Structure 1
């Protein structure tokens, strides 16, 4: 198992790199092909992760320390290939380019991975190919910096942002923090965050991280065709782990990450905190009162999977 420098000008190596990115970004994550392929590849240093003779991961690095297009094939994840790629790029950047700071535009759903690898975030979210991102940096050649941004039980900052990318990004980070349970109160089911593929993936990963993980979803109304909504479909597919009810008295739109965190969204405005037990508990009490008198969904249970 190794990470090697790949030559973009070499047709065979270029096709190996393109195949990995095509499968991960275009086919798996739904990134438009025209956004994935650009004219920067010929200017980058490319890295290829090799499992024996099989290419399983890749990344590209530029002279200014920015790297990106880091991808690992699904069947080879959770085998530390991403960390190996980062180490290889850091070593190369220090040795060959005399650089000290690695920088990346990171998908919010991968935040904890970069945090574990010594990166520190800039608290500003933005869209890239329809997926929420934030910039993270790592200083090479010294002890890794410690960041408590978005850390449950540590980060008491109240984030108030007017940015739809921040809504989805903060929600995805909250799911990664492995809370005891997640509660979703939804009075705007058509809000983009509830149908975002990257947010739905974050929910799936949270549930699959432990057999004890549970999610409660309370919506304030049903409507004809609600079964077509991606979140409702997910709730039915994972009905043993996701409870779904309806209550017309629900007025909020957001999430609780028990026991520490909350997120409230309205339009493009978001308010979130990852270390406030008292407010999270107060919202939980309000939710519990509504849940006790909520009704099973009717439209949403008429589904055939």
Structure 2
């Protein structure tokens, strides 16, 4: 399955549709917490025609990865790891030297397998779900 930069309006809309299904509908995250100003300027990535998504926000030499979501029908297939590997390879090629993300606590082990290290205490990011900051060198 192809994972690529969502560089058209239709591809970005597919990313938003995945986030709505996974975060707002499935995880019951308040809609006001899901959408932010970074959506207009970050790099959105799309897997297939709507199987998964993630975004990268440039923060100096760090790529802040977020909104990693895989549709139910594609979970357990390795797609989430492939999305992350694609983002990290692309971030490195763009000159970023580090990546960070705010992992939902249940997903920490997933990101650790990709080279991320958890830092600091758990916190609620406003969604009602506990998160922890994680970082990796690229």
CA displacement 1:27-68 (0-9 Å, x = unmatched): 000000111111111110111111xxx320000001121110
CA distance in 2, matches of 1:37, 1:136: 21
Q: Which residue of 116, 120, 130 maps to 1:119?
A: 116
Q: Which residue of 84, 88, 91 maps to 1:86?
A: 84
CA distance in 2, matches of 1:33, 1:87: 28
Contact 2:12 2:44 survives alignment (8 Å)? no
Show the counterpart of 2:40: 42
CA displacement 1:257-299 (0-9 Å, x = unmatched): xxxxxxxxxxxxxxxxxxxxxxxxxxxxxxxxxxxxxxxxxxx
- Give, in angstroms, the shift of residue 11 of structure 1: 2.8
CA distance in 2, matches of 1:25, 1:117: 22
- TM-score in terms of structure 1 length: 0.43
Contact 2:38 2:57 survives alignment (8 Å)? no
- Give, in angstroms, the shift of residue 14 of structure 1: 2.3
1:99 alignment partner, SS class: coil
Query: Is 2:57 the counterpart of 1:59?
Result: no
Q: Which residue of 72, 75, 93 maps to 1:74?
A: 72
CA distance in 1, matches of 2:16, 2:120: 31
- Give, in angstroms, the shift of residue 111 of structure 1: 1.0
CA displacement 1:161-201 (0-9 Å, x = unmatched): xxxxxxxxxxxxxxxxxxxxxxxxxxxxxxxxxxxxxxxxx
CA displacement 1:77-98 (0-9 Å, x = unmatched): 01111111111111111112x1
CA distance in 1, matches of 2:111, 2:9: 31
Structure 2 residues without counterparts, runs of 5 or longer: none
Show the counterpart of 1:3: 3
CA distance in 2, matches of 1:136, 1:87: 15
Structure 1 residues without counterparts, runs of 5 or longer: 141-305
- TM-score in terms of structure 2 length: 0.92
- Give, in angstroms, the shift of residue 21 of structure 1: 0.4
1:122 alignment partner, SS class: strand
Q: Which structure dedicates a bigger proportion of its chain to strand?
A: 2
Show the counterpart of 1:24: 22
Aligned ranges for residues 254-265 of structure 1 at < 5 Å?
Answer: none
Query: Structure 1 residue runs of 4+, over 6 Å off?
Result: none
Aligned residues: 134
Aligned ranges for residues 1-305 of structure 1 at < 5 Å?
Answer: 1-7=1-7, 10-50=8-48, 54-64=49-59, 65-96=63-94, 98-128=95-125, 129-140=127-138
RMSD: 1.0
Show the counterpart of 1:190: none
1:117 alignment partner, SS class: coil
